[in-house]
Structure 1
Amino acid sequence: MTGLPVRPEFEGRSPYGAPQVPAAHRLNTNENPYPLPDELLADLGAALGAAALELNRYPDRDALDLRADLATYLSRSGTAVTPDQVWAANGSNEILQQLSQVFGGAGRMALGFTPSYSMHPLITASTGGTFVDGHRRADFTIDPDAAVAQVRELRPDVVFVTSPNNPTGTAVALDTITALHDATEGVLVVDEAYTEFARPGTPSALTLLEGRPRLVVSRTMSKAFGMAGLRLGYLAADPAVVDALQLVRLPYHLSSLTQAAARTALAHTDALLATVDAVKHERDRIVAALPGLGLTSVPSDANFVLFGGFADAPAVWQGLLDRGVLVRDVGLPGWLRVTAGTPAETDAFLTALGEVVAAPGLGG
């Protein structure tokens, strides 16, 4: 970018991304490993064909039918959500970007608790805001007292909480979320991209929405629904938040094809979510196997595991890749992250990991 009049806050930054190097087992991007069911593929073809007949026309700019379907899905959890509380966009990243455009921006501050989703500071910078790191304990949990004190001191305009957290995997207690909401004068965004994979008894922040007009819960269809290629994110919040977001959304931001595909997928919710238990089983299988290799992990409510105890994590990453298994180096010394895949992928990962940690200097 030398010689270009790039904004100063982007100088020296690297774009978000995960290495997509050739590997027999790609376990680095937290995708659902299972293909879409045949009955959904058939209905998708019909739905997209019907939508294509009117591609000469703009799509429904408010995505009313899609938002109604998303509200129905969210309400299945036992917390009633109405269509006017729901907004949808091209992936949860666009949701987060729109929130930052409305509630953050130039002269405003966002607070997050790292390590967490690395797009939060990037989106904050892209919208002209300042990101402040709230940090976590050594076990990667949020210290609620320290976090609340920091919120009261800094008075951020946007507070990001990722639950389950990425890259560490653990969900944030509702008491912590409530305390942060009550301490801030800004909006609290709870990023729940992985919530369908949470361990039993782990509640969603959806249960906190009533009476909290500054609380936003962000979701995605990329993970549990196995629709990463669709790029459909959404949120639930007070209707006033949804109204505010429409001030910054681009005209007709969700294509007719995206809306049709998402609605078709939601009509097959049960079939799509049938893979969740299988993924959770492989996640728990990985966690159970790690101590036998002299390694440890962070308790996970997501479809991935942060595992560690390495003297040289980058060397372990390379050793796994040399054996055909691609995992994610998230930049935490001594730690790597692996996506829970199919049983065969778990076999390949555990076999490769056993070989690598047995090599001198790479284990714990």
Structure 2
Amino acid sequence: MTFPPLRDELRGLEPYGAPQLSLQQAPVQLNVNENPYAPSEAVVADVATAVAEAATRLNRYPDREHVELRERLADYLTADGGARVTAEQVWAANGSNEVMLQLLQAFGGPGRTALSFAPTYSMYPEYARDTSTRWVTGRRDDEFSVDVDAACALVAAERPSVVLLPSPNNPTGTALPQATVTALCEAVGDDGVVVVDEAYGEFRRAGTPSALALLGEHRNLVVTRTMSKAFAAAGLRLGYLAADPAICDAVRVVRLPYHLSAVTQAVALAALRHAPELLGRVDALRAERDDTVAWLRDQGLEVADSDANFAFFGRLADRHAVWQGLLDRGVLVRETGPDGWLRVSIGTPQEMTSFKEALLVVLKEEQR
């Protein structure tokens, strides 16, 4: 046997990850949808105090049920989603990535199927692979929307135990209507769970509701969030879900003991204390996104409607050449999704100016 004795389906695979380059290589980094605004000195000071206090108890295990954190997250979700969420409906983990993996561990597995609609988040099939869950993808239409009738027909044919629906979608930024979520929850029924991944939910446009408002109507609905994006806390690694308490109890069965460190819990609670400030740049980022979408369309490019903090644009004859041309000029964007498309995160006004100036030069060169 070849060493190491890796599972056959994992041989030859590369670890997931977007390119991580130094600021010297790419001074303008717009490829992983981070919030470009660092925490203020007041937030940093509160985090430092919270960590110092947690450090006095590092000889003890943390609260494995992270009760206080779940209570504060429930309060935040109630305020943001417009429907009452209780602590018993909330569960948190190390980033929404771990939340998703725990959901697949609990509800996927051998003999079970997970389903999504491409283009979709590129980690989803890896969660399925890692939990030995069969993976099936339907297709989105040319506007990157989900056709409800076709989606329900696919559910009826495949009988998935997990349906993954990013809204806003990554990489396109497309939000799902509540009617689509309701139709899929009803199609799946008690045979599975429907996971609406709202990693970018705080960036949704006015009038775009959160799926949180549907929790009381569908006991098989799970809504996931993260503090990595709007909260400007990608380095914290804190994701969470809201669902029926029975779903939270099921996820608790597969979680590792004491999976959230005392330091993680302390920092997350400090961030929630400063939620208004940390979320204070969201409106500006929304406006910058809308300006960027309009500008890209003015250049003759096709751009998906976005409710996220990024813009997905195409159709480029040679997207890799455009990606490389931007990188050669110090601007890093993401080469993801269908061929011919690129995704740019929304940065500061200065960063977006650098992106636009570089893209104009690259597009002119590509037209020669």
TM-score range, shorter chain: over 0.9
- AA in 2 matched with 1:343: P
Q: CA deviation at 1:334?
A: 1.1
What is the root-mean-square deviation in Å for CA atoms of aligned residues? 1.3
Match of 2:171 in 1: 167
Match of 1:6 in 2: 6
Question: Which of 280, 291, 294 is the aligned partner of 1:274?
Answer: 280
SS at the partner of 2:365?
Answer: coil
Match of 1:330 in 2: 336
Alignment TM-score, normalising by the size of structure 2: 0.96
Q: CA deviation at 1:261?
A: 0.3
Residues 137-161 of structure 1 show CA distances to partners (whole Å, capped at 9, x for unaligned) of 1221111110000001111111100
Q: CA deviation at 1:331?
A: 4.4
Q: CA deviation at 1:2?
A: 5.7
TM alignment of 1:1-364, pairs within 5 A: 3-21=3-21, 22-77=25-80, 78-184=82-188, 185-361=191-367
Q: Which runs of 5+ in 1 are unaligned?
A: none
1:168 & 1:141 partners in 2: Cα distance? 10
| Change over 3 Å in CA distance of 1:355–1:252 after alignment to 2 | same
CA contact (8 A) 2:171 2:337 kept: no
Q: CA deviation at 1:3?
A: 3.9
SS at the partner of 1:62?
Answer: coil
2:300 & 2:208 partners in 1: Cα distance? 28
Q: CA deviation at 1:309?
A: 2.2
2:354 & 2:291 partners in 1: Cα distance? 13
SS at the partner of 1:228?
Answer: coil
Q: Which runs of 5+ in 2 are unaligned?
A: none
SS at the partner of 2:164?
Answer: strand
- AA in 1 matched with 2:174: T
SS at the partner of 1:68?
Answer: helix
Q: CA deviation at 1:37?
A: 1.5
CA contact (8 A) 2:119 2:337 kept: no
Residues 30-59 of structure 1 show CA distances to partners (whole Å, capped at 9, x for unaligned) of 000001022111111111100000000000
SS at the partner of 1:111?
Answer: strand
Q: Following TM superposition, where does structure 1 have runs of at least 4 consecutive aligned residues deviating by more than 6 angstroms?
A: none
CA contact (8 A) 1:312 1:361 kept: no
| Change over 3 Å in CA distance of 1:86–1:360 after alignment to 2 | closer
Q: CA deviation at 1:13?
A: 3.1
Residues 180-208 of structure 1 show CA distances to partners (whole Å, capped at 9, x for unaligned) of 11001211011000000011100011011
| Change over 3 Å in CA distance of 1:5–1:144 after alignment to 2 | same
Residues 70-107 of structure 1 show CA distances to partners (whole Å, capped at 9, x for unaligned) of 00000103210000000000000100011100100111
2:179 & 2:212 partners in 1: Cα distance? 13
Identity of aligned residues (%): 57
SS at the partner of 2:26?
Answer: coil
Residues 271-291 of structure 1 show CA distances to partners (whole Å, capped at 9, x for unaligned) of 010010111111111111112
- AA in 2 matched with 1:198: R
SS at the partner of 1:113?
Answer: strand
Q: CA deviation at 1:361?
A: 3.9
SS at the partner of 1:247?
Answer: helix
- AA in 2 matched with 1:99: L
Q: CA deviation at 1:134?
A: 1.2
1:272 & 1:360 partners in 2: Cα distance? 40
Residues 299-327 of structure 1 show CA distances to partners (whole Å, capped at 9, x for unaligned) of 00000000112110000000000111000
CA contact (8 A) 1:317 1:326 kept: yes
